[in-house]
Amino acid sequence: MAGDWIKMRGNLWDDPRVSRLCDLTNQSEAAVIGGLYWLWAAADQHTESGMMLGLSASSINRKTGIKKFAEALIEIGWIADHPEGIRIVRFEEHNGVSAKRRCTDAQRKANGRGMSASEADKSRTEGGHAEDEKRRISELEKEKEKEREKEDKTHTGESPPVATQAGAVCVLLKSKGIGSVNPGNQQLLGLLDAGAHIGAFDAAADLAKAKGKGFSYVLGIVENEMAQQASIAGQAIAARSQPPQVDF
């Protein structure tokens, strides 16, 4: 709801709390950060206060494919369980409109500190701040327009959609040494639409890496596993639907 980007620190990989999450869930940094990316992106889209009504710990675990992930997040203090859902702790410090504005302002000030004295004097005119604000708003509008164009092309079939979750999967695969990843790959998008979770891609990447295989091989592994699960589920449903045999 607050925009089309989220704030993530460049040193998140080495944060001791991420290491603690890895220990608690027995997962790699890539899988944990991928799960965090989904959680924070979902919060950015669905809440302005940090309170995600209806979301449960089991939902977080299912969405990310990481067992006990929500419980681990609660233990380190990044989320809090609530009778009505899940609350992102200190949400407004890193997410939402105000946090993004602070981040943009900090970047603008940092850029200003890198200017020469004469350039800085020129920039500090009476209308300088207003012009900076207008320019920032204009840039945000342009980015939103580009996103709308991408969505329009997706609906007309002109170009493949690039999903947020697909991007997180590709980040994970790259971190594992899988090359030539493509967040717009139709097979990848189809698997995600069918319910494939990031943990399945994490495990498949390990197998592909061990065999010296690439992106297509990872997708094939996940697709086969989902087909097997669907077949097993179908057989179970068929067995339950059979009428009981009665001997006379």
- Tens of pLDDT, residue by residue over 92-112, are 776 655 445 555 555 666 666
Residues 6+ apart with CB under 8 A from 29: 13, 18, 19, 22, 175
Residue 160 near residue 186 (C-beta atoms within 8 A): yes
Phi-psi region of 151 (alpha: psi -120 to 50; beta: other; left: phi over 0): alpha
- Rounded to the nearest angstrom, the gap between the alpha carbon of residue 5 and the centroid of all alpha carbons in its chain is 11
Residue 223's alpha-carbon distances to 185, 192, 236, in angstroms, are: 14, 10, 20
Residues 6+ apart with CB under 8 A from 198: 31, 34, 35, 38, 64, 65, 66, 165, 168, 169, 172
> Residues 159-164: contacts with CB within 8 Å, 24+ apart?
159/184, 160/184, 160/185, 160/186, 160/189, 161/189, 163/189, 163/192, 164/38, 164/41
Backbone angles phi, psi at 88, to 5 degrees: -80, 120
Residues 6+ apart with CB under 8 A from 68: 24, 25, 61
Tell me what the pLDDT averaged over the chain comes to: 79
- Tens of pLDDT, residue by residue over 173-231, are 988 899 888 988 999 889 988 888 888 899 999 998 998 899 999 999 999 988 888 88
- Tens of pLDDT, residue by residue over 52-74, are 899 999 999 999 999 999 999 99
What is the b/e burial string over 208-238, where b = at least 16 CB atoms within 10 angstroms of the residue's CB? bbeeebbbebbbebbbeeeeeeeeeeeeeee
| Cα 155-162-138 angle, rounded to 5 deg | 85
pTM (whole model) above 0.75: no
Q: What is the mean pLDDT of residues 129-141?
A: 73
CA distance 204 to 126: 58
